[in-house]
Amino acid sequence: MSHREEPYEVLRFLQSPSDSQRRSNPDGTPRFGTGEKEFSVPWHLIVVTLGMFCLILLMTLIVLVIQNIHHIQEKHEQAEIIANLTHKYRHEGTT
């Protein structure tokens, strides 16, 4: 017996015009959902919403980083002031 490879066939699933009209909006965006409870969500709305959410998160992160840097600088300045005062009073006490 000889073994012969046969190529895979491409299957096309055809839709009737009524199915294609039912599954997309007039503007060409797909409808999500099944049965009677189908609803339409334009992808532009999702992109804009996620974009604004990311922008707000980024701005919040920038503000927190700036506040943290400012706090570290103030702490460093206070440590220098304390070190200078400590050094000054130690030298005054010995004289």
Domain regions of the chain by residue span: 17-94
Confidence tier at 33 by pLDDT (50, 70, 90): low
Q: Does the structure show a pLDDT above 70 at 43?
A: yes
pLDDT of res. 17: 52
Which range has the worst mean pLDDT, 31-45, 48-62, 65-79? 31-45
- Residues 24/31, Cβ–Cβ less than 8 Å: yes
Q: Which of 2-6, 10-14, 58-62 has the largest mean confidence?
A: 58-62
Confidence tier at 12 by pLDDT (50, 70, 90): low
The secondary structure of 15-40, three-state, reads: CCHHHHHHCECCCCCEEECCHHHCEE
- Whole-number Cα distances in Å, 20 to 12, 14, 15, 37: 15, 10, 6, 17
DSSP one-letter code for 59: H
